[in-house]
Structure 1
Amino acid sequence: MAAEFTGTGHQSTGDFTTSAGLTLVTASCPACRLAFTVTVLDSEGRAEDLPVTAFGPYEGTRAATLPPGTHYLKVDADSAWTVRLGPPPGGAPADLPQAYAGRGDRLEGPFTATGTLRLEGSHTGAGHFIVRVLDADGGLVDLPFNTAGEHRSTATSRLHGPGPYYLDVTALGAWTLRLAGE
């Protein structure tokens, strides 16, 4: 499944079809001055996921967990925007330890781990810093970081099975994540 939609302002897109599981949502609205939101709706108009909600210019990648079927997007923006949908990053899952760094919203992985996952995280700047550990189907495994502003700490997540797993990062500022098994 791959789809791309472009538009300006408030719009509903054409339909797209997914199989169950994790969907990668890459969105941009570089000239937005106000709210920019992307809502995934089913064919009956019921909201299924809200992968993007931002204020001002935005460029990022988020995860959406969708049931199989036909969907469409409702995009609210005050400028030109683009949204691409596709499968999560493929390839062989990386073994631990791993290190990731970025700015803004990103989906990282896949990686494989069992038992206890140790995460060292840091965030600079204002706004939220949220990290969700997701399984291969997009199911929430843990929420090791959910804070705002400057942040540096360590967290652990208990993993059931070898994975693969992904990290769904929501952030306004620059961030780093270091992962290791315990």
Structure 2
Amino acid sequence: MRDEWAPLVGTRRIARLSRSVSNGFLDLLLVPLQVIGFAFSKGGEVSVNFSSGRLRFGRHEIPFSEIDTAKTAADAAIPGNIDLHLSTSRGSGFVVQLHNGVESIIPEATRAALLRVIPLTSIALPTDPFDPTGKNSRRIFPHHLSRDAAYRLVLDPPRDAHI
């Protein structure tokens, strides 16, 4: 059986500038080089493999279950533009543009793939030490989504960025 990887068209990889801020002086030396590399990189193709339950970002692969964060972002320069960021706690992830301010632009194949992937993730709203039950998570972390909210957002993106 072949390893079938399908590209998620319309997505782009989230590039990490640094894995850790605890490196101190080493970070001061490396961050300028990483910024230059980030500026000239394309971000890498994002692909999905349903038989292995993994996502690929360039050469890096992760299981669906490691995706634990979903966030929305709206671009102030493009009114109505809505992006969905899916990532791991280590920072690997990708962005998909759902709406361009005029219409939903997520390719149908990508929408169908994400609707299969999202239920298999471990996406959850973050909690705050002062709100351990998560009762106020939507107020404390307004751009974060639950797994169900991320699924609904991909299924039917709103017409404007007020989500």
Task: Give the TM-score of the pair, scaled to structure 2.
Answer: 0.26
More strand by share: 1
Structure number with higher helix proportion: 2
Give the TM-score normalised by the residue count of structure 1.
0.24
